[in-house]
Structures are given as C-alpha cells and as structure tokens.
Amino acid sequence: MKRLWPLALLLSGCPFLDRGTEATQPKELSSFKVEVLRLYTVSGNTQTPVDVVSECARNYPSQAEVPLELRGTPECRYIIPPGEVRIDLQAQALDLKGEPVVTDRPVSFRVVPGELSADQRGRWAPLSGGVLNATVTALKLYGEVRVWVEDAPPTKVYPGGEEPDPSLLPDEDAGTRSWASGTSAIIYFADHTIQSLQDPGILDNRGSPFVGEFVVVGKNPNTGEKLTQSCHDDAQRNGADSLMVVTGLDPSGFFVTDITACRKVELTQDINGDSVRNANIEPREPCVEVQGDGTRALITDGGTGLCEIGQTVCRSQNDCPRYLPGTFGSMFIYNYNYPDGLDTGDLLFTLSGSVQEFTSTTQLTFPAWLTAERVRQLPEDQWNKWLQYAKPYDLGGRTCGQDNVLAPYLTDALCGHNRRNMKMESLESGLVRARRVSFPKRFADCDFNGDGTVPFFCENPPSNSWSLCGDTETAAETTERTCNQECTLGIGQFAGERCSERTNFEGFGQFVVEMQPAGPEALGGDPQLPQRYLTLTTTANDGGVQLPRLRELYFNANMVVTCDHDTRYRLGDSDLMISPEDPVFPAGVSTPIQLTGNDDHIALAAVAEASSCVLGVNARTRINLVTKDAVPELNPDCDENDANEVEAVRCRALRAATFDVVGHLRHVQAARPRWAILPRDADDLCCYPGAGLQCPAPIKPCN
C-alpha cells in the first residue's frame, strides 16, 4: 500500500525552501544592449560623416548639415559607401533579467549585411566591467544593416591561407563561451541597384565591391514599395523609378540594363591620389539656357544657364562636370541555361543572386527574378517599348583609353588595355556598337606544341616595344607568345596584316577585328579624338603645290587619307614637289598609307579641281568579337581559295567589307584585347561591301 506523506511534512524536510528565504542565483551573461553612436569615413586625419541619399540631402544646404539623429533612418538612408566605414558603438552585457553583468571577457563583432575589415584585431574587443566602447570597421553595407556583438570567438582571417598570428586573437578558455549576442537597431542604407553592384568606386576595372555577397535588386510589387534612383550628380534621373530591361538572351543566361541608372561623373583620381591622363577624359556636359519656346541654347560668353544633366548653375561649359559614357547599369545574369519565359525587351521587378566575377565580368549566379511586363504579350509594335531606351553606345578611341594627341601610344592597338579604364567598365554588359570594323584576313596557329593553348601577352611590356617579356618562360613559350602577340597586333612576321590567333578562336570563339581610324564620322572615321586627324585643302595642280608637313607624326605611323576629289600625293623627308607620275588618292575612297623610314612629310595636290583631304591617324586598334552563337553560319576563319566557289566568294566578300557591330560588351581580363563584343543575332551586324562585292550572307547592308 502506497503511503501519502502530508504536504507540510514534505516541505519541512526541505531546508532550502524555508519560508521567507529565496535562493541567490549567479548573474549569467545572456545578451547585449548595443547602441550605434555614429558612422563616418576617414581620410588622413579627417573624419567625415557618411553621406545620405539625395532625397534627404536636398532638404539641407549641404551633406554636413543633415542632422545626426536623422541619418540612417528610413526617411534619410545612408548611401551605399564605396569603401570602409567606421562605426562607433557602445554595448552593455546583460543577464536574463536584463540587468547589467560585470565581466571583462573579449567579444566579437558581425555586420549584417556587410563585412568586417580584414584586420584581425578589428574583429573583437574586450569588455570593461561589462561595458564595451569600440569602433567597428565595415564595408559592403546596404539595405537594413545591424551590428552584432557576440560572446564568441572572432571570425578568423587567413592571410595567404595560413592560420592568423595568435597575438592578434583573444585568449580563449575552452568551454567558457556563452554564445550570448545582441544587435543594434537597424541602420538604414540605400537599397542595391545594378549600378551599386557594378561601380567599383576606384580606378580599377577588375571587380565588383560586392563579390561573394547574396543581393536583391528591386522591390516586390506586393510590398507597395519602388526602387528609385538616388543621383547626386544627375538631377534628370534623381528619384526616377529603376527600370530593369532585358537587353538580350544567351545560351547560359541573359543581359539586363537599368535604363534610368544615374549618369556618373568621371573619376579622374583614385584613393591613392593617382590621376588618369587628362588627355582622354570625357568632354564636359553642355551649359545651356532654356529659351521661351522651350529650346535650349548653349551658353558661350557671358550669361547664366544650367548644366544640362546636373542642373547646377553655370556660366560656361567649364563649370559643368564630365560624365562617363556608361552608367555601370548593366549586368549579365548567369542562369546556367537558356532563360525560358524571358524575352528581349521584358521589364523586371526584381533580381537576386550571388555576385561573382567571371574573367572580370560581374555577374549574378544562382539567380532569381520577378518579371514586371512580358512585352511579347503586347502588340508587336510595342515589343521595343522598353528596349528602345537601352541604346548602344558607339565605341571609339577615347572610350578605348587613347590620348587626344596625334601620335599613338604602344598599347593603343588594344582597346581598353589599361586596368584603370573606367569608360569601358561603365559600359560592361551593356549594348555597344563598333563602327566599320574589319575582319581578320588571316588566322595564324601559334600552338606549336599542340596542347590547345598559347601564352597570353606580357603583363607589363616595355614602353616602346612588345618584343620583350619580364616573366620567366621557356623558349617554347616565348615562341608561342611572340607569335600570338605579333599576329594580334599586326607587327613582326605579321606586319601590316589583320590577323587573329586560331587557337583562341577555336577554344573561345573570339577573334580580333580592327576598329575604324580617326576621322570625321561623315567619312567613316572615329571622331572621338579630333586631334588625331587633320584636314588639308589643295588647289588646282599648277606644277605641284607643297602642303604643310606633318612633323608631329612619328615614323612607321599608319594613316588613312580620304579626299573629296582625286588628289595626287608624295611622301618624303624634305621639300616635296608633286609630279604627274605621283600616285593618286581616289575621290571618296579611304586609302591607308604608312610613313616609314624618313617619310615624315606629305604633300598633296589636286589632279583637276581643288579638293579637301582628311588625314586620320590609324592606331589599328583591335577588339575581340564573338559571333558563334549569334551568327553560327558566319565563318571568319574561311579560305578565299576554297574549292567550293560559293564559300570562296563569301569569304572574299567578308574580308573586303567593313561592318557595324552591335552587341553586349564583355570584360575578358586574361585575353588580349581584354574586351569582347557579343552580338545577339544576325540583325546586330550590317555591312559596307567591298568594291564590286556584296555583303556575306546572312549579313545585310548598312542603311
């Protein structure tokens, strides 16, 4: 039989539950109260508050006058900063009851979303009596940011893959960590746009500042919110809705462009104070005055107007900024296969995925997207409803990074070769156009050992020659590299030829095309660098008229001459007189010439009537083209003497013609040239046929 003891007797036998007595519990660390005091950047000894978005800043005389308590709120978000941000914070250790805990243990930090500085010592700090006063250095901040304080070991940084120096880490007692944590209130930063992912903010075009981050761009319509542009230097687009348009499909993904992305002022000095060459910076935007009838008149001498894009007051064009040709507003979305359900011209609400670099082309991987409008469900005349605003930008010498001076530089032959070229980077993954490019006339196989690869160019060639390479390489590698360089550049054994290396073509589908020489656009030239072409006027031939000498031109200079009437010419090194036996530049035909040896003078004279001739420097600039997916039937590695007469004629037509090419611009850091154009289909190419020939099928003539 079970005996039931009286409750009072049971309680009396428990001395620790004696009435009127409570047990004393030790205070255990349970959480942290975290407070962010301020955010700022540091340059030298100067501390500057992080800028806020333009919607908030425009309510105050300057960024510095935006109240501290307003910064970082939903109504006054911080911009997405390009570099490191210092965050002063204070934290108090608390127990389960929310009361202070006295302890001197080390704690670690996290910033979500974002990253901590790579400095191991900046990833943790010790409590002093349960209180923390510390500065956290963070980067890659966007959206709704929180700073975490944790009773946990700091995340390690492994320099060169090795274990960090123990002196940079706190002492750890095994088993003593509580893993308690606390977080600050939300600090509001601007939301991501494609531009914020693409713009490196420094003079280095090799990567995105958000590589490795999972990001979301755009707003789900169910939230009732819109992603709008915050443009400090572009009043026309400030506050505009972000409009992400699909500009082309690819077998492994698609390209998208934000057509309202802010125009960006050209960066001419990086964080180290190094400047770009002033000779190739963009022209300033116009200073204009709006007339009574709505037309715009340029302000020249005197008067007051507004800079056309920035809308700031100006008295001349010199008061207005310079803008990059692109907006960093385009990106490739790597879907691993063809993106079913999308069409060129569709409009997207959102994009998400992980930011990665492939050959220095920024892309989103493992992507997802939400479509706002499917244009193919509209009448056919509206399929370009959005795409019409993603107009291709015409590439030229200035975009490629060449100087606006008469004499070309060594690397001018490779468009966009310099890693500090932000003009090309601002256009990456966007639509561009190269006018009147010439296809290669020869494909050279430089893979002499048959391993399927050839060495690329030297990274840092001497200033006046491509012949030497400072890297350690075998004799066989030197032979292959030299062949590759000379073919690509049209020098050495391939002097004067348009050549592309066959191994690169077979392996990657890319081949080298030659861009148009400097000259007026009306004559088929590149007008971006006006100091690279000259206009000379002749008179009727009365026995020979000597014209000004081009002493500025260096020896071995390639030029293209175009005259409006037949014009006789002579090259030489001293006073030149034209004779009836001298050759003729035919009217309206662009004729290449090369100044060799002592030919640093040229004389021109009209054959019958006065003529005007344009002499344009031809840097023979190269860029890569990939047509294998867009126009698979077009074979640039053809044979003009093919046994099949149809193919032979087609090959001769292809090599005699010049082409206007539209396509997406891809960065290929390892290649030479480093940039490639990827047309979408045959309609992205048109042709100017050679004399007596037609355009190679299926390419149509240019209008």
Range of the domain at 379: 203-264+326-391
pLDDT at 2: 44
Both 240 and 361 in a single domain?
Answer: yes
* Mean pLDDT value across the chain: 89
Question: pLDDT at position 278, please?
Answer: 61
231 and 357, same domain (yes or no):
yes
pLDDT on residue 571 = 84
Percent of the chain with pLDDT over 90: 71
Instruction: Examine the pLDDT at 465 and tell me if it is beyond 70.
Output: no
Residue whose C-alpha is closest to residue 501's, from 485, 524, 525: 485
Residues 373 and 448 in one domain: no
- CA–CA dist 445, 456 (Å, integer): 14
Hey, what amino acid is at 155?
Answer: T
Lowest mean pLDDT among 331-340, 407-416, 445-454: 407-416
Residues 223 and 120 in one domain: no
> Is 660 a domain residue?
yes
pLDDT at 551: 46
Q: Cα–Cα distance between 344 and 245 in angstroms, integer?
A: 8
Q: Tell me: the pLDDT tens digits for 97-151?
A: 999 999 999 999 999 999 999 999 999 999 999 999 999 999 999 999 999 999 9
Specify whether 491 is located in the same domain as 577: no
The whole-angstrom separation of Cα 136 and Cα 123 is 7
The pLDDT, as a whole number, for residue 276 is 63
Quick: pLDDT tens for 306-321: 999 988 999 999 999 9
Q: How confident is the model at residue 331 (pLDDT cuts 50, 70, 90)?
A: very high
The total number of structural domains that make up the chain = 5
Q: Is the domain of 415 the same as that of 512?
A: yes
Residue type, 162: E
Helix (H) or strand (E) holding 677: strand 675-678
Distances (CA, A) of 411 to 171, 352, 615, 668: 54, 38, 21, 16
Q: What is the pLDDT of residue 4?
A: 44
Phi, psi dihedral angles at 534 (to 5 degrees): -125, 150
- Please indicate, yes or no, whether residues 346 and 376 belong to a single structural domain of this protein: yes
**What are the DSSP calls for 591-645, one per residue?**
EEEEE-TT--EEEEEESSS--EEEEEE----EEEEE-TTT-TT--SS--TT-SSH
Single-letter amino acid, residue 655: R
Are 52 and 120 members of one domain? yes
Distance between CA atoms of 573 and 506, rounded to whole angstroms? Answer: 45
Taking only Cα atoms into account, the Rg of the chain, rounded to an integer number of angstroms, comes to: 33
**In the predicted structure, residue 19 carries a pLDDT above the cut 60:** no
Q: Does residue 362 sit within a domain?
A: yes
> Residue 7's pLDDT is what?
39
Among 149-153, 571-575, 592-596, 669-673, which stretch is predicted with the lowest mean pLDDT?
A: 571-575
pTM of the model: 0.88
> From its phi and psi, is residue 336 left (phi > 0), alpha (psi between -120 and 50) or beta?
left
Total H helices, total E strands in the chain = 8, 37
Q: Determine the Cα–Cα distance for residues 132 and 149; give it in Å rounded to an integer.
A: 9
CB 519 within 8 A of CB 612: no
pLDDT of 277 above 70: no
Which pLDDT belongs to residue 409? Answer: 84
Q: Does residue 661 lie in a domain region?
A: yes
The fraction of the chain above a pLDDT of 70, given in percent, is 90
d(Cα 299, Cα 309) in Å, to the nearest integer? 15
Q: Smallest Cα–Cα separation from 341: which of 387, 376, 365?
A: 376
Domain contains 275: no
Would you state the pLDDT for residue 680?
A: 98
Q: What is the mean pLDDT of residues 450-472?
A: 71
Contact 147, 184 (CB under 8 A): yes
Residue 141 CA to residue 191 CA, distance in Å, equals 10
Q: Quick one: pLDDT band at residue 469, thresholds 50, 70, 90?
A: low
**Residue 471, pLDDT score:** 58
Does residue 145 share a domain with residue 92?
yes
Per-residue pLDDT reduced to its tens digit, 222-252: 999 999 999 989 999 999 999 999 999 999 9
- If asked whether residues 413 and 562 sit together in one domain, one would say no
Least confident window among 20-29, 34-43, 129-138: 20-29
Which residue has better confidence, 261 or 45? 261
Question: pLDDT tens digit string along 648-690?
Answer: 999 999 999 999 999 999 999 989 999 999 999 999 999 999 9
**Residue 353: which CATH number?**
2.40.50
Please check whether residue 679 is in contact with residue 433, taking contact to mean a CB–CB distance below 8 angstroms. no
- Residue 1 covered by a domain: no
H or E element at residue 481: helix 475-489
Q: What is the pLDDT of residue 174?
A: 55
- Are residue 511 and residue 532 in the same domain, yes or no? no
**DSSP run (H or E) holding 424:** helix 422-427
In a domain, 2, yes or no: no
In a domain, 580, yes or no: yes
Query: And the tokens for 504?
Result: 């690169």
Mark whether 366 and 401 lie in a shared domain: no
Last residue of one domain, picked from the residues 617, 649, 668: 617
Residue 12 pLDDT:
43
Q: pLDDT for 362-409, tens place per residue?
A: 999 999 999 999 999 999 999 999 999 999 999 999 999 999 988 788
Position 160 scores a pLDDT of: 84
**Confidence grade of residue 285 (pLDDT, cut at 50, 70, 90):** very high
Q: What is the per-residue pLDDT across 354-364, written as a single tens digit (0 to 9) for each?
A: 999 999 999 99
Cα angle, residue 608 at apex, residues 607 and 610 outer, rounded to 5° = 90
Last residue of a domain, one of 368, 391, 414: 391
Binned at pLDDT 50, 70 and 90, residue 464 comes out as low
> Between these two residues, 175 and 497, which has the higher pLDDT value?
497
Query: Does residue 549 surpass a pLDDT of 80?
Result: no
CATH code of 50's domain: 2.60.40
What are the CA-CA distances from residue 80 to residues 9, 83, 183, 355 (Å)? 70, 9, 21, 16
The answer to whether residue 452 scores a pLDDT higher than 50 is yes
571 within domain boundaries? yes
What distance in Å separates the CA atoms of residue 565 and residue 587, rounded to the nearest whole number?
Answer: 4
The pLDDT value recorded for residue 377 is 97
Token code pair at residue 255: 């390209």
Residue pair 661/685 in contact (Cβ under 8 Å)? The answer is: yes
Last residue of a domain, one of 617, 635, 659: 617
